[in-house]
Structures are given as C-alpha cells and as structure tokens.
C-alpha cells in the first residue's frame, strides 16, 4: 500500500454504467467493475434514537434488508463514530464483508477494518483501486468534535472514476479531490446540510449551495446525492438541492435515485 499523489489514467470514450441502489441515508450499493461495494451501512429499523453527545433520531428504515443485498465485497465506511453512518445492524454486517476500508481511527476501534490515511490507496483483486481522500465533517476546526472522516475514489481500467464524498462539508476538500482526479465522472455527494447545533449555521455535510458549488468543481461528473433524508438532523431537503441545480442550469447532471431501485448511473 503506497501513497497515490496523482491520477491521469485515460478512460474509454464509452464506459460501462455503474449500477447504484440507494438503501437509505448514506447507504448505497455500487456495482463497479465486477465488484460490489457498500457505503456507510445503516440498516436499523425506524423510528429509532441514538444517544451520545447529541441525540440522533432516525426517521425511516432501509429500503433493502441486509439479507437481500447479495454478496458485498467491500464496505466504504467514511467513519464509525456516528450512528447515521454506522448503526447497530450495519456494524454487525461488517463481519461478513471481506474488505472494510475506513479511517485509521476506525481501524483501531472496529475489528476487521483496514484504515487508510488520505491519499493512500489499496488495489483490490478485481482490478479496482480505492483511494482514500480527505473529508471534513463541519467547518474548519470541527475535527476535534466531529472526529476523522474519509471519502473514497474508485478507479478501474475502462470504468468511470467515482468519487464518494463521505460526510464532508468543505469545498476546499472537493477542490483537492477534483485536482487530483480530473477524470471524475460520477460524484456521490453526501448532502442534506446536516446540522446538530454544534457549529451554529455551519453544516456538517454539503448543503444545497455547497453541493451546487461542488458540481462546478467537478464539471464532468454526474452527481448522485445521498444522505439527504431519513434523519431528523438533515435540514436542507432534496427539493432545495434540485432547485439550486435547476437555477444553475445543472439539473441534467443530477441522478436522483429511487429508494431500493437498481439504477445505471
């Protein structure tokens, strides 16, 4: 495993489609280059409450149960410290997945997790390269309260480059990713403007305005928004995101997934 400073791999003009199934919240099943990946597994039924420094309220359960997922090769876990990204059922699922990638902090807390520092990558046996990229879960200086988070970039010969933001609120971070991966064609953005009151009006994830600006930084990418509903602390609804993209002439770049429906993106 080595650091990955830059990527300029050519891609075929017509790449095969990536299949995405939105389970709910931040949880997305991706079929990519013969590999099945799952982002931030959350499968607890709702309604539910999770105690902690801030009480989190889950409003909707998963559209797909773990037993109906089929085999999962890789979990991309942006962070382990918040129940809206890894709940009780999701945590139990990790034991059945051959490869779980997350932060180095998560690797010290969760058995079986392989920790990656930002810009570090791992080569999967299927020919997929997964690179961990930075994420900031709130405004500048929020790391001490929010904890470490990573995003991920997927690459494979002949397949579109995919960016999965994780819980990131920073446009500077998106700009860094865009500069290192200029061939990004699909951006899975965790949106919803999450806010639990810790940082005033500053969100913990991209709100509609920031997500629209992120799309400008990734001009060749189709945008797949997730983590915009299902929890009470998401205050910027999906409709606001759609309106912002429409106003900016970017609506055709949005891929809105129907819950539980496999969709080529």
Domains of the chain, by residue range, sit at 19-255
> Which DSSP helix (H) or strand (E) runs through 225?
strand 222-226
State pLDDT tens for residues 120-173.
999 999 999 999 999 998 778 777 767 899 999 999 999 999 999 999 999 999
The pair phi, psi for residue 220, each rounded to 5°, is -100, 5
What's the mean per-residue pLDDT of the chain?
92
Return the minimum-mean-pLDDT range out of 16-20, 33-37, 108-112, 215-219. Answer: 16-20
Cβ contact 77:100 at 8 Å: yes
Cβ contact 254:245 at 8 Å: yes
Output the pLDDT for position 256.
97
Output the pLDDT for position 1.
41
Output the pLDDT for position 147.
81
Query: Across residues 216-239, what is the average pLDDT?
Result: 94
Counting Cα atoms < 13 Å in the Cβ hemisphere of 249 gives 2
DSSP 156: -
* Strand intervals (E) in 41-167: 48-50, 56-58, 74-76, 99-102, 113-115, 121-123, 129-135, 149-155, 161-164
**Chain CA centroid to CA 48, Å:** 22
Question: What is the value of pTM for the model shown?
Answer: 0.93
Tokens for 111, please give them. 């058995």
State pLDDT tens for residues 35-63.
999 999 999 999 999 998 889 999 999 99
Quickly state the pLDDT bin for 179 (edges 50, 70, 90).
Answer: very high
Output the pLDDT for position 53.
82
Quickly state the pLDDT bin for 14 (edges 50, 70, 90).
Answer: low
- Please name which of 70, 66, 85 lies closest in space to residue 36, comparing C-alpha atoms: 70
State pLDDT tens for residues 186-214.
999 999 998 887 888 889 899 999 999 99
Distance CA 40, CA 102 (A): 10
Distance CA 139, CA 119 (A): 21
> 235: buried, middle or exposed (CB in 10 Å: 19+, 13-18, 0-12)?
middle
Query: Across residues 108-127, what is the average pLDDT?
Result: 97
Distance CA 167, CA 174 (A): 12
Query: Across residues 87-94, what is the average pLDDT?
Result: 98
CATH code of the region 19-255:
3.60.15.10
Distances from the Cα of 163 to the Cαs of 39, 89, 153, 184, in angstroms?
12, 25, 4, 7
Distance CA 52, CA 140 (A): 22
Q: Which residue has the higher pLDDT, 222 or 12?
A: 222
* Strand intervals (E) in 65-212: 74-76, 99-102, 113-115, 121-123, 129-135, 149-155, 161-164, 184-190
Sorted by sequence, the CB contacts under 8 Å of residue 184 that are 6+ apart come out as 153, 161, 162, 163, 177, 178, 218, 220, 221
Share of the chain above pLDDT 70, in %: 94
Return the minimum-mean-pLDDT range out of 134-143, 206-215, 217-226, 249-258. Answer: 134-143
What is the separation, in whole angstroms, between the first and last Cα of the chain?
29
Output the pLDDT for position 3.
40
């Amino acid at each position: 495993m080595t650091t990955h400073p830059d990527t300029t791999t050519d891609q075929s003009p017509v790449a095969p489609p990536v299949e995405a199934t939105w389970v709910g919240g931040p949880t997305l099943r991706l079929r990519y280059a013969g590999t099945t990946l799952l982002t931030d597994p959350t499968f607890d039924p709702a309604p539910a409450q999770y105690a902690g420094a801030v009480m989190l309220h889950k409003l909707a359960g998963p559209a797909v149960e773990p037993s109906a997922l089929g085999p999962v090769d890789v979990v991309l876990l942006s962070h382990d410290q918040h129940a809206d990204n890894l709940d009780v059922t999701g945590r139990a699922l990790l034991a059945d997945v051959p490869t779980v990638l997350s932060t180095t902090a998560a690797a010290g807390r969760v058995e079986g997790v392989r920790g990656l520092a930002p810009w570090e990558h791992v080569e999967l046996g299927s020919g997929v390269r997964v690179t961990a990229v930075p994420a900031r879960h709130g405004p500048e200086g929020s790391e001490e309260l929010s904890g470490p988070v990573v995003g991920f970039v997927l690459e494979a010969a002949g397949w579109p480059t995919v960016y999965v933001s994780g819980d990131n609120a920073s446009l500077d971070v998106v700009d860094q990713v865009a500069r290192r991966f200029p061939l990004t064609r699909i951006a899975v953005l965790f949106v919803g403007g999450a806010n639990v009151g810790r940082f005033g009006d500053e969100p913990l994830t991209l709100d509609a305005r920031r997500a629209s600006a992120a799309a400008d930084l990734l001009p060749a990418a189709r945008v797949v928004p997730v983590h915009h509903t299902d929890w009470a602390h998401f205050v910027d609804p999906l409709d606001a995101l759609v309106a912002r993209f429409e106003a900016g002439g970017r609506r055709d770049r949005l891929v809105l997934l129907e819950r539980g429906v496999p969709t080529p993106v």
